[in-house]
Amino acid sequence: MDGTWIPARKRGTAVCPTIVFLANWQERGMRMKTLSWVVVAIVMIVACVVVYLSGIRQPHLSDVQQLKQVLAEAEAAVESKDLNRAMSLVSPAYRDSYGTTKSILRLEAIRAFRSAAAFDVSLQDARIECKDDEAQVETDVLVDAIENGKRSRVVDAHLKLDFKKEPVRRWVFLKVARWRLISVSGISTAFEEY
């Protein structure tokens, strides 16, 4: 039935248009439910293919190359004052010789980012040593705070950065190993004056 009311003299009995409409609506609802499951399945298959292909296309980087990439990302995050990006490079298990934890480090970074209009970060002479899922990076770090066109050096130190490869969620369901900072030595609180 197409949902129209047919007079009794043509069909033999009168059919209520509401009943016909509800019957058609229920049938259409079942088709819509099936269609929506098909659409969801297609979207999931496409998402899996995209994730798989993105994993294939990325060249496998050595541990040293990955650490250089993390250091470059840290430089860019501080220069752009992107707190979330900078803190994503720090392990939840971070603890240094001063007893600083990740949450305290986050508060210090907030305070430092508010203290100057911009930062210029330079990592020089980085020496990277990797052993299994742990690494140590020794580098000279220079950080200049820029305020009203004036530069002032806030960090000039030789640092030892300890990294550990930790599982991190990429997208929602894919876990990948990523280098994260677990400790820093060779620096007192850099931004005490701020």
> Can you tell me which residue has the tokens 């990955």?
66
Residue type, 165: K
Do 101 and 91 meet the contact criterion of CB atoms below 8 Å apart? no
Predicted confidence band of residue 57 (pLDDT cuts 50, 70, 90): low
Least confident segment among 89-98, 123-132, 171-180: 171-180
Whole-structure pTM value: 0.65
User: In this structure, what token pair is assigned to residue 186?
Assistant: 């060779």
Q: Identify the CATH number of the domain defined by range 63-185.
A: 3.10.450.50
| Calpha distance 109→2 (Å, rounded) | 67
Do 89 and 77 meet the contact criterion of CB atoms below 8 Å apart? yes
Q: What is the pLDDT of residue 172?
A: 65
| Calpha distance 57→70 (Å, rounded) | 20
Q: Which residue from 36, 47, 28, 65 is spatially nearest to 173, judged by alpha carbons?
A: 47
Interval 68-117: pLDDT, tens? 999 999 999 999 999 999 999 999 999 988 889 999 999 999 998 998 88
Q: What is the pLDDT of residue 48?
A: 72
Show me where the domains of the chain are located. 8-57, 63-185
The residues, ordered by sequence, that sit 6+ positions from 102 with a Cβ below 8 Å of its Cβ are 87, 90, 91, 92, 93, 94
- Residue 24 above 80 pLDDT? no
